[in-house]
Chain A
C-alpha cells in the first residue's frame, strides 16, 4: 500500500466561468498515480482553463478539486506546472538558470534564500533537458524549443508528484519533441502523474495512455484505446470533418 491512499487528482463537478460566462461545466475526473493523461479538445474547449482551475491559477465557480486528498493549498509543493510558452515575456531580464530556480521558490517558502542544494538541483534539471550549456544565457536568445525545455526544467526542479503541462509540444523542433516524450516516459516510470494539454489529435493517440476529451464539458475520459473513437471525436469536435477524416485515415492505417 502506497502512502497515498488518495488519488493524485480528484476533480468533482468543477465549473469555471470567465466574467460570468461559463467555460467549463461540471467536470468529474480521477487521475490514478503514474498516469499520462492527454487533455484534448477543439479551440476554446477549456483545456488550459481546466488545468489552471485545478491549480487555483484561475478561480473556480463551483465544485471542488482534491490533490492527494487535500485542497490545493496544502498540496502545492507536490504540483509542477509548465505554462504555455507565450504566456510570458521572453525579454525579461533573467537568465536560463534564474528561470529554472523559480521552480525551487515554492518549496523554499517566504524569507528563505536558495542554497547550494537548490543550485545543484537546478543544474541537474537543466542537464536533463540538455540546456546546461545555456544556463548563463539571457532567455531572449533562445529558440522556441529551447524555451520549452527551460520551462520543463523549471517544472522538474519543482520535484513534484503531479505535473500539469500546457501545450508543451506546440511549436517545438523535432529534437525537443523527442526530449519531451522521453521525459514524460521517465516521469511516468517514476510513478508521477502527468496531465498534458495537447492540440494535435494524431499524436495524442500515440503519446498518452489516457485521454480526457473536452469541449466545455467532459466528452469522454479513459484509456486511449477506449476513448479515441469516432463517436467521441464527433461529440467533441462537432462538424470539423477535415480533422476527423484525417484521424480516421490514420486509425485505419494503424489497424491495418
Chain B
C-alpha cells in the first residue's frame, strides 16, 4: 500500500516536471546563445533534482560525515563492480565526447550536437519498447536512427523552406524531445514501467552501466580515436577551410558524414551516463574549455579529452557519494567548473591573465614615460649632459621625489638605467643621479621618435592643428611597432623636425638601405 502511494506520488511529480521541461524547451527556441541555454538548463536541472528526489533529499539529510568518507573509500577502493563500470564508462565517454566535441566546437556545430542529443530520445524509447527491456543494442540502434532522422530533418527544413538553420535546429530539438517525453511517460505508466530504469536515460546513472553498455562505449570510443588518428589532417583542413580542402581533392562530404555519424554514436553511448538532457554539454563544455586554454588543434583535442574524463569521473564520484544521485548533472557541473577556471586563469584569454598583462603594459608605459623625460632633459642640455639627478627628473615629470626614486629604480631593474651617487668635486655628493644605459638610450629615442613622428603624421596627413596632436601621440608612442614606424617615415619622406620644430631622433637601428643615404636624417644633437 505504502509502496503504491510512493510510486503514484513519484509519477505525479514526474508529470509536473515534464510540463516545466516542455515549457523550458519551447522557450529555448527564441534564445540564440547556446551557452546561455546550457547554463539555464543546468541551473534548472539542479533545481529539479532537489524537487523530484525528495527521497534522495531525505537521504542526503541523513548522511553523516563518516558516511561520506565511507562512500568515498568504497568508490576509490574499486571493490564495487558497479563503481568499476561507472569509472570505465566515464573515462570512455570523456575521451569520446572530448575528441569529437573539439571538432564540433571549431566547426561551429555546437547546436547541432545539442539537437542530436535531444533527437535521439524517441529512438531510445522505441528501442526500449521494441526489445521490451533495457537492451543496449536495441536502444543503440533506435537512438542512432532517431538521431540521423533528426539531422536529416534539419537539413530538409533548411533546404525546402526559408527557415534558417537555427530555427530548424530549435524546432527539431524540441519536437523530437516532446515525442520522446510522451513515449517515456507511456513506458513509465506501463505495468513494468517503474522497474524499467528508463528514467536513467533522462539524467544519467553511470553506476547502472552494464558490461554490454561498456563494450558499446569501448567500440565507439575506439572508432572515434581511430578516425581522428587516421583522418586528422583531413578533419583539420576541412574544419578550417572547406573550400580549400575540396580543391585539394579531399572528400569533404564523406568526412562530414563520418563526423556526424560518430557524433550520433557518441551521444547514444553517453546517454546512460549523462542522460539525454545534458549529453550535449559533455560534448561542448570540455572542448570549449580546451579552446580557451590553447591555440593548437592537437593540444585542444588532448585537453578536451582530459577535461572530459576529469569531469565525467568527478560526476560519477559525486553521484556515488550521494548514494546513486543522477550522474549527468554532476558531470556537467564538473565541466562547468573547469570552464570557469579556464575563464579566469586561462593563459591567453583568462581574466586574471589579462589583468596581469595589462598591469605589465602599464608598467612599461610608466618606464617609457620616465625614459622620455630623461631624453627631454638630455635634449634641454643639448645632449651635453649624460646623467641627471633625481630632483631634476622629478621636476621634469612633475612628480614627488620618492615617486621618482621608484621610477628610477624600475628603470634600473629593467636594465635601462643606472642610479649612482652623484659626485661633487670628485667626492661623493648628497644627490643621486640617474644615467641611461645604451639600451635605455635607444628605447628613449624610440619613444620620442614615435611621439614626434605621430604628431607629424597627424598634422601632415590628417590635417590636424599642431596643438591637437600631443595627447594622441602620448598614447600612440607606446604602441607603434618598427614596421609602422618605417611606413610612417617613408610616407613623411624621412622628416627631421616634428610640428613643434623639435628634431625627430634617429633610430639607432640601421635604416633600410638606399632610403637613408639620400635623405638621411640627423643624429640628435649633431
Physical interaction between A and B: yes
Q: How far is the CA of A88 from the CA of B243 in the complex (A)?
A: 9
Contacts of B294 in A (CB 8 A): 93
Contacts of B299 in A (CB 8 A): 93
**Which of A57, A89, A106 meets B240, CB within 8 Å?**
A89
Q: How far is the CA of A158 from the CA of B231 in the complex (A)?
A: 19
B233 near A105 with CB under 8 A, answer: yes
**Closest beta carbon of chain A to B251's beta carbon, Å:** 9
**Which of B236, B239, B247, B300 meets A56, CB within 8 Å?**
B247
In the complex, whether A98 has a CB less than 8 A from a CB of chain B is: yes
Q: How far is the CA of A98 from the CA of B237 in the complex (A)?
A: 10
B240 near A94 with CB under 8 A, answer: yes
B106 near A57 with CB under 8 A, answer: no
In the complex, whether B461 has a CB less than 8 A from a CB of chain A is: no
Interface size on B, residues (CB 8 A): 26
In the complex, whether B246 has a CB less than 8 A from a CB of chain A is: yes
**Closest beta carbon of chain A to B508's beta carbon, Å:** 21
A93 near B241 with CB under 8 A, answer: no
**Which of B106, B231, B250 meets A92, CB within 8 Å?**
B106
In the complex, whether A138 has a CB less than 8 A from a CB of chain B is: yes
In the complex, whether B295 has a CB less than 8 A from a CB of chain A is: yes
In the complex, whether B230 has a CB less than 8 A from a CB of chain A is: yes
- A41-92 contacts to B, CB under 8 A, are 52, 55-57, 73, 76-77, 79, 81, 83, 87-89, 92
**Closest beta carbon of chain A to B330's beta carbon, Å:** 29
A93-B297, A105-B234 in contact; A87/B246 too (CB < 8 A)? no
- B196-241 contacts to A, CB under 8 A, are 230-231, 233-234, 236-237, 239-241
Q: How far is the CA of A102 from the CA of B233 in the complex (A)?
A: 8
For B348, give the chain A residue with the smallest CB separation. A138
Q: How far is the CA of A77 from the CA of B248 in the complex (A)?
A: 7
In the complex, whether B177 has a CB less than 8 A from a CB of chain A is: no
Q: How far is the CA of A240 from the CA of B341 in the complex (A)?
A: 56
The digit string for B349-380, where 1 denotes a CB below 8 A from any CB of A, is 00000000000000000000000000000000
B247 near A81 with CB under 8 A, answer: yes
Contacts of A224 in B (CB 8 A): none
A94-B236, A108-B233, A110-B234 in contact; A138/B295 too (CB < 8 A)? yes
In the complex, whether B81 has a CB less than 8 A from a CB of chain A is: no
**Which of B106, B243, B244, B246 meets A93, CB within 8 Å?**
B106
B246 near A106 with CB under 8 A, answer: no
In the complex, whether B249 has a CB less than 8 A from a CB of chain A is: yes
**Closest beta carbon of chain B to A140's beta carbon, Å:** 8
The digit string for B99-136, where 1 denotes a CB below 8 A from any CB of A, is 00000001010000000000000000000000000000
The digit string for B22-63, where 1 denotes a CB below 8 A from any CB of A, is 000000000000000000000000000000000000000000
**Closest beta carbon of chain B to A222's beta carbon, Å:** 26
| Interface footprint category on A | 20 to 34
The digit string for B239-274, where 1 denotes a CB below 8 A from any CB of A, is 111011111111000000000000000000000000
The digit string for B289-300, where 1 denotes a CB below 8 A from any CB of A, is 001001111011
Q: Which of B233, B236, B247, B294 has the most CB of A within 10 A?
A: B247
Contacts of A113 in B (CB 8 A): 233
- A17-44 contacts to B, CB under 8 A, are none
Contacts of B246 in A (CB 8 A): 55-57
A92-B106, A93-B294 in contact; A99/B240 too (CB < 8 A)? yes
**Which of A93, A102, A164 meets B296, CB within 8 Å?**
A93
A73-B249, A94-B297 in contact; A52/B240 too (CB < 8 A)? no
Query: Which residues in B have some Cβ–Cβ distance to A below 8 Å?
Result: 106, 108, 230-231, 233-234, 236-237, 239-241, 243-250, 291, 294-297, 299-300
Closest 10 A/B residue pairs (Cβ): A106-B248, A76-B249, A138-B295, A81-B247, A55-B247, A57-B246, A88-B241, A105-B233, A57-B243, A93-B295
Pull 23 A–B residue pairs with CB atoms less than 8 Å apart, ordered by A: A57-B243, A57-B246, A57-B247, A76-B247, A77-B249, A83-B241, A88-B240, A93-B106, A95-B296, A102-B233, A102-B236, A102-B240, A103-B248, A105-B233, A105-B234, A105-B237, A105-B248, A105-B250, A106-B248, A108-B233, A110-B231, A114-B233, A140-B295
